[in-house]
Amino acid sequence: MRLPNFNVQAEVAKQFSSKLSLTIFERMCKVRYFELGVIDAVNKKEITYPVYLCSGQEAVAAALSTEIRNYLIFAQHRAHDVYLTFGASPERLRDELLGLPTGTSQGRAGSNCLQYHENGISMFGHHGLIGENVPQGVGAALGSGKKTVCIFGDGAAEEDYVLAAIGFAVTYKLPVLFICIDNNLSILTPVEVRRSWSITKVVKAFGIPAIDVTDDPWTVLQHTRKLTQDLPAFINCYVCRNYWHVGIGIDDTPEWDRYQMVKEELIRLGHKETIQDIEEKIRNDMEKLWDRELLLKPLGK
Amino acid sequence: MGQRTVAETIREISRKHLEENNGILLGECISAVGWVNNTVPNCKGIVELPMTDVAGAGIAVGAAMVGRRPIFVIRFQDFLSLNGSPLINYAAKSKDLHGWSTPIFIRALASEGLGPVHSGVLHSVFMHFPGFRVVSPMTPREYDKVWQEFMKYDDPMIVSEHRESFQNSEEMADVVNDTADITLFAISSPRFAVEEAAKMLLKKGITCNIVHIFRLKPFDVQERYLEPLRRSKLGLVIDASFEICGASRSIAYELTHASGYPVKALGLLDRTKCLCPPYQNKAPDTRQIYDTVRNILK
């Protein structure tokens, strides 16, 4: 059920160390403030290529990144959050969005095709056909025997090849964690208009653990820890997308603001000053990253 | 007389790759009905894919992304219309987009006379997209060469096979005459008809050069192609796929521009291949090649 507290246990955050909780928040901050820089750069026409923003959805990637660090990563087209929270270079991402040769794909691929293969991170680039990363991730797990995460959206969940690939992973008992980032929207068409069935129930019918949760990061982490003990497994995470499918536009106020909710929970747990410090530091870091003078130099402006 | 057939060559290359090179071979119904015309070895590394063409190709691409250099078997080229999207949108693009390749050896089998969805030859479609190597070997040695090429480079390779070649153990040498009237450039299954057509034409006083082509893309305009064309001053490219926007016209264009001599094209009509005569729209056979050359030289 699509609610901000769906499947969230009372006091779940207390099951995790303060250090871990603050790390999750720090990574959420990183995405949020990086993307504020993107929006500013788009408004100033410094970024003229399409951007696929993650703000509003970043809690899931932040939680996952603390638990499944050595997995092969097959993320979807909207993956700034995965890229940044798993520790890939913000500078290289900024340059990719600007179309610079110092970008993570030399500026050739852009926002929806992010890859990163440094510092122990194996993130394979998406090429824009939604759900294509799922069979590829399954094939990579088959070919390498390595643990793999496939992250895709609720629209991709409807692609026949996504369902077939999950079925294949079940047959071959491959070590794949499937994560559906369910923002309820394919462009602007809600799930209930597109289908009458639940992806979680379908995956469960394949015979593997599958669960619906909201994007409370402690809840995501709790289930990730449990389900990764016996892969393959599937988690459908309800999230809210703050911006348009592509671009920086906004239609409505999101149903909930997870970023604010996490902040409030951390304040309740006694971390008010620490999270202010974290936010301040990340804000400063990202302002430097998007500093106009530095930024415009390589563009020759 | 050669020793091995094309089918035996494919089987041995595959076996070596799977047993000695940590390779992997994926496809649907691999072990059924004669192991794909006895071209697949019964050994480790075989992955039977479920009947899910798009996902199956994506899984094969994923295995390529982690360095397994998979052999991906597509029993009928028509199925490429389903299997094609991960190959076209991912495997062929990764090098230009990200700087790393997705080396996958795509064995796509063609046939003749099996109706509208089992008789297609689709190599022309894949020549259109950047990133692929496209080949159509019809002899054992040619198959060895394309495999070596696949292992040497890191591009995805479309191997347009033809069942008519599987029992062939002969190599096919070019035929070049000093006083030829036309040079016939043959691709895929028409290569097995072109020699007989040339004999029939000779009886009518028409001398033909014959040049065999199995590397379709990248198409390197070699001296081996140009020298016979300079002698005949006229050429005809013959292929088993559709002529319109197809390999025959594309290569004819390349040869015309490189040589300055007119090179015509002969492929399939712009019409769906159907089950029964006269609607089969088959690859150019001896008679068709003969008639086409006579019309050109009228």
Is pLDDT above 90 for B62? yes
Amino acid A298: pLDDT: 61
> Residue B49: its chain A contacts at CB < 8 A?
168
- With an 8 Å Cβ cutoff, are A136 and B59 in contact? yes
User: Is B182-296 in the same CATH topology as B6-165?
Assistant: yes
Dist. CA A176–CA B207, nearest whole Å: 63
**Tens digits of residue pLDDT in A152-175:** 999 999 999 999 999 999 999 999
β-bridge mates for residue B211, sequence order: B185
- With an 8 Å Cβ cutoff, are B55 and A165 in contact? yes
B123 closest CA partner among B171, B74, B169, B165:
B74
Inform me whether the C-beta atom of residue B63 falls under 8 Å from chain A C-beta atoms: yes
Nearest chain B Cα distance for residue A201, angstroms: 20
Dist. CA B24–CA A142, nearest whole Å: 10
Number of domains in chain A: 1
* Mean pLDDT of the region B68-94: 97
Is pLDDT above 80 for A299? no
Inform me whether the C-beta atom of residue A135 falls under 8 Å from chain B C-beta atoms: yes
Inform me whether the C-beta atom of residue A41 falls under 8 Å from chain B C-beta atoms: no
Structural tokens at position A223: 């289930």
Is pLDDT above 80 for A147? yes
Q: What are phi and psi of A148, to 5 degrees?
A: -140, 145
- H or E, element range at B146: helix B140-152
**Which residue from B47, B50, B94 is facing A164, i.e. has the nearest CB?**
B50
Amino acid B14: pLDDT: 98
Overall pTM > 0.90: yes
Give the residue from chain B lying closest to A122, CA to CA: B66
Inform me whether the C-beta atom of residue A106 falls under 8 Å from chain B C-beta atoms: yes
Amino acid at B41: P
> Residue A124: its chain B contacts at CB < 8 A?
65
Angle at A197 between CA A195 and CA A199, to 5 degrees: 105
Give the residue from chain A lying closest to B51, CA to CA: A164
Helix (H, G, I), strand (E, B) or coil at A238: strand
Cis status of the peptide bond prior to A232, with omega within 30 of 0: yes
> Sheet of A176-182: strands edge to edge?
A122-124, A72-74, A148-153, A176-182, A233-238, A210-214
Amino acid B32: pLDDT: 78
Q: Whole domain around residue A279: which residue ranges? A: 12-296
Q: Which CATH number does the domain housing residue A154 bear? A: 3.40.50.970
For chain B, what is the mean pLDDT?
Answer: 96
**Tens digits of residue pLDDT in A195-226:** 999 999 999 999 999 999 999 999 999 999 99
Per-residue three-class SS string for A41-57: HHHCCCCCCCCCCCCCC
**Tens digits of residue pLDDT in B21-30:** 999 999 999 9
Nearest chain A Cα distance for residue B28, angstroms: 13
Structural domain boundaries in chain B: 6-165, 182-296
Is pLDDT above 80 for A30? yes
Sheet strands (E) in chain A: 72-74, 122-124, 148-153, 176-182, 185-186, 189-190, 210-214, 233-238
Inform me whether the C-beta atom of residue A139 falls under 8 Å from chain B C-beta atoms: yes
**Which residue from A72, A124, A135 is facing B55, i.e. has the nearest CB?**
A135
Amino acid B141: pLDDT: 98
A116 closest CA partner among B27, B194, B99:
B99
CATH architecture of B182-296: 3-Layer(aba) Sandwich (3.40)
How would residue A1 be classed by pLDDT, with cut points 50, 70 and 90?
confident
User: Would you list the DSSP string of B255-289?
Assistant: HHHHHSS-EEEEEE-SS---SSTTS--PPP-HHHH
Are residues A100 and A92 in contact, defined by beta-carbon separation less than 8 angstroms? Answer: no
How would residue B2 be classed by pLDDT, with cut points 50, 70 and 90?
low
**Which of the residues A96, A126, A132 would you substitute to probe the B interface, choosing the one with the greatest number of B C-beta atoms within 10 Å?**
A132
Dist. CA B135–CA B137, nearest whole Å: 6
- With an 8 Å Cβ cutoff, are B98 and A132 in contact? no
Residue A188 forms part of a structural domain:
yes
CATH number (3.40.50.970, 3.30.460.20, 3.30.450.40, 3.60.9.10) of B6-165 reads 3.40.50.970
**Tens digits of residue pLDDT in B123-160:** 999 999 999 999 999 999 999 999 999 999 999 999 99
Residue A1 forms part of a structural domain:
no
CB atoms within 10 A of CB B167: 12
> Residue B24: its chain A contacts at CB < 8 A?
142-143
Residue A234 forms part of a structural domain:
yes
**Tens digits of residue pLDDT in A177-187:** 999 999 999 98
Angle at A125 between CA B25 and CA B54, to 5 degrees: 45
**Which of the residues B18, B28, B65, B129 would you substitute to probe the A interface, choosing the one with the greatest number of A C-beta atoms within 10 Å?**
B65
How would residue A300 be classed by pLDDT, with cut points 50, 70 and 90?
low
Question: The complex's ipTM?
Answer: 0.95
Amino acid at A9: Q
Dist. CA A194–CA A210, nearest whole Å: 21
Dist. CA B136–CA B147, nearest whole Å: 12
**Tens digits of residue pLDDT in A255-292:** 999 999 999 999 999 999 999 999 999 999 999 999 97
Residue A174 forms part of a structural domain:
yes
Amino acid A301: pLDDT: 54
- With an 8 Å Cβ cutoff, are B65 and A143 in contact? yes
Amino acid A297: pLDDT: 67
For chain A, what is the mean pLDDT?
Answer: 96
Is pLDDT above 70 for B1? no
β-bridge mates for residue A122, sequence order: A72
Amino acid B31: pLDDT: 85
Structural tokens at position B262: 């007119």
pLDDT > 90: percent of chain A: 95
